[in-house]
Amino acid sequence: MPVYEYICKDCGSEFLVFLSIKEFESNPKIRCSKCQSDNVNKKLTLFYSKTSKKS
């Protein structure tokens, strides 16, 4: 499952969000885990587990 790293522009807190590809594509509102602000920036995307590619 991809992990998205966000940084809050309000309080500067960095936090991780676990979303499936489907959830991410549905453009969810990400909120800061600290101050609940949605004024956040995605920093990077990490992948925890290897997924087998199906083509």
Tokens 């920036």 belong to residue: 41
Please report how close the Cβ of residue 40 comes to Zn ion at its closest, in angstroms. Answer: 7
Tokens 């936090």 belong to residue: 15
Task: Give the nearer residue to Zn ion in terms of CB position, either 12 or 51.
Answer: 12
**Contact predicate 3/48, CB 8 Å:** yes
**Contact predicate 13/5, CB 8 Å:** no
Q: Rule CB under 5 A: which residues touch Zn ion? A: 8, 10-11, 13, 32, 34-35, 37
Please report how close the Cβ of residue 55 comes to Zn ion at its closest, in angstroms. Answer: 40
Please report how close the Cβ of residue 34 comes to Zn ion at its closest, in angstroms. Answer: 5
